[in-house]
Amino acid sequence: MSQNKQNIRSLLLGSFLAGPRLIKHYPFLIFVGFLAMLSIFSSHRADQKVHEIARLRKEVKESKAAFISTRSTLMQASRATQVAERVEALGLKMPENPIIELKP
C-alpha cells in the first residue's frame, strides 16, 4: 500500500518525468508531441475547408437562383408583344403587311 501511495505522489508531483530512465526518451516524447500537434492542426484545417465548401455551395445555389430569375425576366421582356408595347411610346408600330423577303 505504501508503494501505491508513493506512485500516486510521484504522479501528482511530476517527479516521474525526471526519472533517469525517462530522460533518455525525451527526444522521442518530443517527436510524439510534435506529431500530435501536427495531427490537431491538420484536423482543424480540414474542418475549416469543410465549412468553406459548405459556404461556397450555398453561394452557388443562390447565384443559380438569381441567374434563373434574371433569365426568366429577360425572356418575358424580350417577347414580341412586350417589345411592341414599349416601342409604341416612341411612335413605332408593327407593320400591318407581312415582310417580303427578296432572294437573289
Output the 3-class SS for 9-27: HHHHHCHHHHCHHHHCCHH
Q: How many residues does the chain have?
A: 104
For the chain, 104 residues long, give each residue's pLDDT as a single digit of tens: 577 887 787 777 777 677 777 778 888 889 999 999 999 999 999 999 999 999 999 999 999 999 999 999 999 888 888 888 888 888 888 778 878 888 87
Q: Is the pTM for the entire model greater than 0.75?
A: no
CB 33 within 8 Å of CB 39: no
